[in-house]
Amino acid sequence: MRNMRIPMARRRAMAVVAAVLLAGGVAACGNSDTGGDGGDDGKLVLGFSQVGAESGWRTANTNSIKEAAAEAGIELKFDDAQQKQENQIKAIRNYIQQKVDVIAFSPVVESGWDTVLKEAKDAGIPVILTDRAVDSADKSLYKTFLGSDFVKEGRLSGEWLVENKKDATGDVNIVELQGTTGSAPANDRKKGFAEAIAADPKLKVIASQSGDFTRAGGKQVMEQFLKAHPKIDVLFAHNDDMGLGALEAITAEGKVPGKDITIITIDAVKDGMQALADGKFNFIAECSPLLGPQLMDLAKKVHAGEEVPPRIETEETTFTQEQAKEALPNRKY
């Protein structure tokens, strides 16, 4: 452990040297410990590579992680990868070089992680996946995966639609705004939704495209959908933000969201819940971003060499317009 007494002036000088050495590195957030177990004051050091800042969900997730680390007395090194896998790989390599105690990350896409995960394993640094999964066949490359069941979220959305449109006559035309191409939530939500709506042949997905989980993406792709398809009955957006962006496109076309077009989204962040309570959205499947406390707990356990379950699922629910009105005043994110 590195809990030794170093005079303040010297510690400051060391910190300055370290900061200079690390300047320019992706994960240069003030690490003055490059020597192994524990950070300053012997704190557990967790290197976390975040996907980006693409949505309200992500902001809430980042806040939860930062707050929980501070509360748990964990030294957090945080990097925002701006939705780019290459940046995440760089950040993880940086954490390996810095010999952090535990690495956690939310993989932007599912594939292409084996090499860097192997490097972490060889360095003896345990890895925790949070929020999104990887498709690595070798499960020994990470200790656990903490996050939601995205297939279930898609299925619950589809099941609600089947029920909601059961009395409709003629084809029900659905457009789908997918999340980031190749990401676990985009792949899984699409799958779960498709499985559920297969129960009713009149429910037809007539267009499906990625809006990259952003408001701007949702707006832009919805504009294209509206131009290309005169009859759109339903929008299924893989997150609230894309749905919120799409609202602008729908209103600009002179259509009434929530009435002319039934809107289903996933996440249930505050802005999404507000749109649902206001009658602009019709249904939201919740996806909780508050993973921080559980992540810190897991980081401590894997660092101590304790066994942890390979999969930890987040608990969540769904909201109708009435339920959103009730839940909104106490919504934390």
Pick 95 or 150: Cβ nearer ligand GYE: 150
CB of 48 to ligand GYE, least distance (A): 14
CB of 166 to ligand GYE, least distance (A): 27
Residue 215 contacts ligand GYE per CB under 6 A: no
Kindly tell me the burial class for residue 140, based on how many C-beta atoms sit within 10 Å of its own C-beta (0-12, 13-18, 19 or more).
Answer: exposed
CB of 101 to ligand GYE, least distance (A): 25
CB of 100 to ligand GYE, least distance (A): 23
CB of 316 to ligand GYE, least distance (A): 11
Of 58, 99, 280, 303, which lies in the binding site for ligand GYE, with binding defined by CB under 6 A?
58
Instruction: Please give, one letter per residue, the 3-state secondary structure of 220-288.
Output: HHHHHHHHHCCCCCEEEECCHHHHHHHHHHHHHCCCCECCCEEEEEEECCHHHHHHHHCCCCCEEEECC
Q: Which of residues 102-161 bind ligand GYE (CB under 6 A)?
A: 131-132
Select from 4-12, 50-58, 70-78, 86-94 the region that touches ligand GYE (CB under 6 A): 50-58
Cα of 289 vs its chain's centroid, Å: 7
The 314-333 contact track toward ligand GYE, x by CB under 6 A, reads --------------------
Select from 20-28, 52-60, 119-127, 166-174 the region that touches ligand GYE (CB under 6 A): 52-60
Q: Answer yes or no: are the C-beta atoms of 173 and 226 closer than 8 Å.
A: no
Q: Which of residues 66-105 bind ligand GYE (CB under 6 A)?
A: none
Q: Which of residues 231-290 bind ligand GYE (CB under 6 A)?
A: 239, 241, 266-267, 287
The 287-306 contact track toward ligand GYE, x by CB under 6 A, reads x-------------------
Distance CA(283)–CA(264), nearest Å, equals 5
Distance CA(239)–CA(325), nearest Å, equals 19
Residue 299 amino acid letter: A
For the beta sheet containing 311-313, the strands, ordered from the edge strand earlier in sequence to the opposite edge, are 75-80, 45-50, 102-105, 127-130, 144-147, 311-313
CB of 230 to ligand GYE, least distance (A): 29
Pick 211 or 257: Cβ nearer ligand GYE: 211
CB of 73 to ligand GYE, least distance (A): 27
Select from 4-12, 54-62, 94-102, 294-302 the region that touches ligand GYE (CB under 6 A): 54-62
Counting residues that bind ligand GYE (by CB under 6 A) gives: 13
Select from 49-57, 198-206, 294-302, 312-320 the region that touches ligand GYE (CB under 6 A): 49-57
267-281 burial: b if 16+ Cβ within 10 Å, else e: bbbeebbbbbbeebb
Phi and psi angles of residue 31, each rounded to the nearest 5 degrees, phi first? -75, 120
Distance CA(240)–CA(55), nearest Å, equals 8
Contacts of 307 (CB under 8 A, 6+ apart): none
Q: Which of residues 185-214 bind ligand GYE (CB under 6 A)?
A: 185, 213
Q: Answer yes or no: are the C-beta atoms of 88 and 49 closer than 8 Å.
A: yes
Q: Answer yes or no: are the C-beta atoms of 75 and 45 closer than 8 Å.
A: yes
In the chain, alpha helices (H): 8-22, 56-72, 85-97, 114-122, 150-164, 184-197, 215-228, 240-252, 270-277, 292-303, 321-327
Distance CA(312)–CA(211), nearest Å, equals 28
CB of 318 to ligand GYE, least distance (A): 14
Of 27, 33, 57, 284, which lies in the binding site for ligand GYE, with binding defined by CB under 6 A?
57
Residues in contact with ligand GYE by the rule CB under 6 A: 54-55, 57-58, 131-132, 185, 213, 239, 241, 266-267, 287
